[in-house]
């Protein structure tokens, strides 16, 4: 009988420890997800406004950017593209009317996350308005408490 009491005590202790670990893990995961959502919103706002300083601070050093119609480019090349885009926005040659993400799904794996969704972009250039939709996949890395985008890929929705 004493053996069963000890066994029951051990089983209950293991169960309670596992429940506490899962609750902590779930809470940590939810906090990580909330922080990532804040970072994504900040990133998208900076992209819409053409804010290169913010965007550059929010991507990893070995960042890879791939559009559905071209091969991957590195951080330096993407920042150069962003600088040209920023000039276009500041001079009024490009107006980003809308840049929003819908249908977002997030899977967090420790300090890494995969984000998928649909981006809708509406812009005006040379008095011509263009609206496009893209399916996107982003890889985000948590570097010392800050979420940074490490990879991007999109495919245009026809």
Whether the CB-CB separation of 88 and 101 falls below 8 Å is answered with no
Query: Could you read off the pLDDT of 15-62 as tens digits, one per residue?
Result: 555 544 444 467 877 888 999 999 999 999 999 999 999 999 999 999
Whole-number pLDDT of residue 68: 83
Q: Which residues are CB-neighbours of 82 under 8 A, at least 6 positions away?
A: 50, 52, 55, 56
97: confidence class by pLDDT, cuts 50, 70, 90 = confident
Q: Which of 45, 38, 140 is nearest to 100 (CA)?
A: 45
pLDDT above 80: residue 70: yes
Whether the CB-CB separation of 63 and 153 falls below 8 Å is answered with no
Q: Which of 44, 43, 45 is nearest to 57 (CA)?
A: 43
HEC profile of the chain: CHHHHHHHHHHHHHHHHHHHHHHHHHHHHHHHHHHHHHHHHHHHHHHHHCCHHHHHHCEEEEEEEECCCCCCEEHHHHHHHHHHHHHHHHHCCEEEEEEEEEEEEEEEECCEEEEEEEEEEEEEECCEEEEEEEEEEEEEEEECCEEEEEEEEEEEEC
Q: Which of 131, 108, 135, 89 is nearest to 39 (CA)?
A: 108
Task: Give the whole-angstrom CA distance, residue 90 versus residue 125.
Answer: 13
Whole-number pLDDT of residue 115: 96
């Amino acid at each position: 009988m004493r053996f069963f009491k000890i066994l029951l005590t051990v089983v209950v202790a293991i169960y309670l420890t596992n429940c506490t670990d899962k609750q902590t893990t779930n809470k940590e995961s939810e906090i990580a997800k909330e922080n990532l959502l804040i970072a994504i919103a900040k990133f998208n706002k900076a992209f819409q406004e053409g804010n290169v300083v913010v965007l550059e601070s929010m991507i990893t050093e070995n960042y890879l950017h791939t559009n559905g119609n071209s091969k991957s480019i590195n951080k330096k090349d993407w920042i150069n593209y962003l600088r040209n885009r920023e000039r276009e926005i500041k001079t009024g040659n490009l107006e980003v009317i809308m840049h929003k993400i819908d249908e977002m799904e997030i899977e967090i794996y420790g300090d890494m996350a995969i984000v998928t969704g649909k981006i809708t972009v509406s812009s005006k250039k040379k008095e011509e308005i263009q609206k496009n939709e893209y399916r996107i996949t982003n890889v985000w890395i948590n570097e010392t408490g800050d979420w940074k985008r490490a990879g991007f890929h999109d495919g245009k929705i026809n």
